[in-house]
Amino acid sequence: MLAVAIVAIIAAGMLTRQSVMIRTVEAEQSRIQNSAALMAGLDKPDSGRV
């Protein structure tokens, strides 16, 4: 019974760590995409106005 409890605690910890890592990766991807979109908007040439 103690072994089952220990395994459950370890599994819960692993799931929590995985969830944190997923959120971290998603946040980093979002930051990079937003940065790329901002740079693309800043790099647009003038629309032919004189």
pLDDT at 40: 86
Write the CA distances from 35 to 25, 28, 43, integer angstroms.
Answer: 15, 11, 12
Q: How confident is the model at residue 35 (pLDDT cuts 50, 70, 90)?
A: very high
Residue 44: inside a domain = no
How many domains are there within the chain?
1
pLDDT at 42 over 90: no
User: Which DSSP state fits 19?
Assistant: H
Residue 39: inside a domain = no
Residue range of the domain that includes 12: 1-32
pLDDT at 23: 98
pLDDT in tens, 7-32: 999 999 999 999 999 999 999 999 99
Residue 50: inside a domain = no
pLDDT at 50 over 60: no
